[in-house]
């Protein structure tokens, strides 16, 4: 391949440039995460300026997930045809363009359209990044870079939760969108100049059949893999809970508990700060102890009482519960990503499995804010919090029925 970087076939350690690739992927992923989560910390401002109800306001988060939901399975074909670099550039470019469009949105339909475009970027980058990591890192050493990459989502969330209220006070919600667009543009330039493909035998990878029939066969097998779909269902539930709380809990703290918006956003960010440590730890534990399924199931059940307790707690219990939530929920993500290749018939089909997992992720991200907003309107904040309990239980049951270690 023209422009490929020659690397050693040794499976002992990745080539030095692999870490540069990981850095580029992380910056691109943080750009997607930052723009996805810029809504919750300024949601009261958006509700006021766009005259939204709580239920309708959830669409500003869910719309981001719609395109990712629709692109989840086709993204595998796009990656196969265009390659990681072109697909990655499209992903980061979509996030940047969508944020620019959102900056100039004066109506709800135009704002929703901008969120759809940004969601396309997230949907693509979540397929590109794990695939690129698999190309550059040998199988025995993929756990560490994968654990690092999974922290990009909470890291972007932390940045926007703590910067967005301050930026909004300086220049309205529009300034938040402008900064998101500039960050994404910088990520696009970085990806353009630094991302490269390794040699065909990178990191011990085996040549894959790039013929259309091989791709279609892999997707066909993935569609019939019950364990894969059970893992995807668990990830649907996980993202429903996380996006519901991440979207609305700052508003609850601001409107019900009387916290300043910046303080409310910081308290919510405590869970994502904790996840920066618990996600790599969860990946390491699932490898070290050889019990990914049990780790995911137990953590899912532990999330249940935290969900409703958040809407009952006051004082120091509020930040304490958010930290506990981040500690428990963070262990689920790397274990889930690591479980997917293990239930596939071969490593060559891991890309198809990740596409199905991305479908579950985006479905949960879409449903979570809308469902919780409607529940909060109908049953109040505490009632909506209690309704997240069966979602956590369903997640635990689904992953337990999937047969993997």
Assigned domain for 11 exists: no
- Do residues 7 and 15 make contact, with C-beta atoms less than 8 angstroms apart? yes
CATH number of the domain residue 172 falls in: 1.20.1250.20
Name the token pair of 175.
Answer: 């300034």
Assigned domain for 136 exists: yes
Domains: count for the chain = 1
Name the token pair of 224.
Answer: 């019939």
Cα separation, 201 vs 259, in Å, equals: 55
The residue segments making up the domain with residue 252 are 17-202+211-401
- Short-list 238, 273, 251, 255, CA closest to 40: 251
Assigned domain for 222 exists: yes
Assigned domain for 4 exists: no
Assigned domain for 381 exists: yes
3-state secondary structure at position 5: strand
Assigned domain for 279 exists: yes
- Short-list 119, 129, 133, 30, CA closest to 87: 129
Assigned domain for 164 exists: yes
pLDDT (tens digit, 0 to 9) for every residue of the chain, 405 residues total?
444 444 444 445 778 888 999 999 999 999 999 998 888 888 888 888 888 877 778 778 777 767 777 887 788 778 777 888 999 999 999 999 999 999 998 888 898 899 889 988 888 898 888 878 877 877 656 667 777 888 888 888 888 878 888 998 898 889 999 999 999 999 999 999 999 888 644 444 444 444 444 555 555 666 788 889 999 999 999 999 998 998 889 889 998 998 888 888 889 889 888 988 898 888 777 777 777 889 999 999 999 999 989 999 989 999 999 999 999 999 898 888 878 777 776 655 666 777 888 889 888 988 888 899 889 888 899 999 999 999 999 999 999 998 766
Assigned domain for 78 exists: yes
């Amino acid at each position: 391949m023209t422009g490929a970087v020659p690397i050693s076939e040794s499976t002992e350690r990745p080539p030095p440039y692999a870490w540069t690739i990981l850095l580029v992927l992380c910056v691109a992923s943080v750009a997607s995460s930052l723009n996805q989560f810029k809504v919750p910390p300024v949601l009261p401002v958006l509700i006021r300026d766009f005259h939204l109800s709580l239920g309708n306001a959830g669409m500003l988060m869910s719309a981001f997930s719609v395109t990712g939901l629709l692109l989840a399975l086709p993204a595998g074909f796009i990656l196969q045809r265009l390659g990681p670099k072109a697909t990655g550039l499209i992903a980061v470019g979509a996030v940047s363009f969508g944020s620019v469009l959102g900056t100039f949105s004066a109506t709800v339909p135009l704002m929703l359209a901008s969120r759809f475009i940004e969601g396309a970027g997230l949907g693509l980058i979540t397929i590109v990044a794990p695939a690129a990591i698999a190309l550059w890192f040998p199988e025995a050493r993929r756990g560490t870079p994968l654990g690092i990459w999974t922290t990009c989502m909470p890291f972007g969330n932390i940045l926007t939760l703590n910067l967005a209220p301050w930026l909004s006070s300086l220049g309205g919600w529009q300034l938040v969108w402008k900064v998101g667009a500039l960050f994404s543009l910088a990520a696009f330039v970085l990806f353009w100049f630094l991302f490269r493909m390794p040699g065909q035998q990178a990191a011990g990878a085996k040549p894959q059949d790039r013929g259309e029939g091989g791709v279609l066969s892999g997707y066909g097998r993935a569609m019939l893999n019950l364990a894969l779909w059970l893992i995807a269902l668990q990830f649907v539930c996980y993202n429903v809970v996380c996006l519901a709380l991440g979207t609305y809990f700052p508003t609850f703290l601001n409107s019900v508990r009387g916290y300043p918006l910046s303080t409310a956003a910081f308290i919510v960010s405590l869970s994502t700060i904790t996840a920066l440590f618990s996600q790599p730890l969860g990946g390491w534990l699932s490898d070290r102890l050889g019990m990914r399924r049990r780790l995911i199931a137990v953590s899912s059940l532990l999330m249940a009482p935290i969900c409703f307790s958040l809407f009952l707690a006051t004082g120091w219990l509020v930040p304490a519960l958010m930290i506990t939530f981040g500690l428990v929920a963070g262990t689920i993500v790397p274990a889930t990503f690591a479980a997917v290749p293990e239930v596939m018939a071969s490593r060559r089909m891991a890309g198809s499995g990740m596409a199905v997992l991305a479908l579950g992720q985006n479905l949960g991200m879409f449903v979570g804010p809308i469902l919780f907003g409607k529940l909060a309107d109908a049953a109040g904040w505490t009632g909506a919090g209690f309704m997240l309990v069966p979602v956590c239980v369903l997640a635990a049951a689904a992953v337990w029925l999937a047969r993997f270690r």
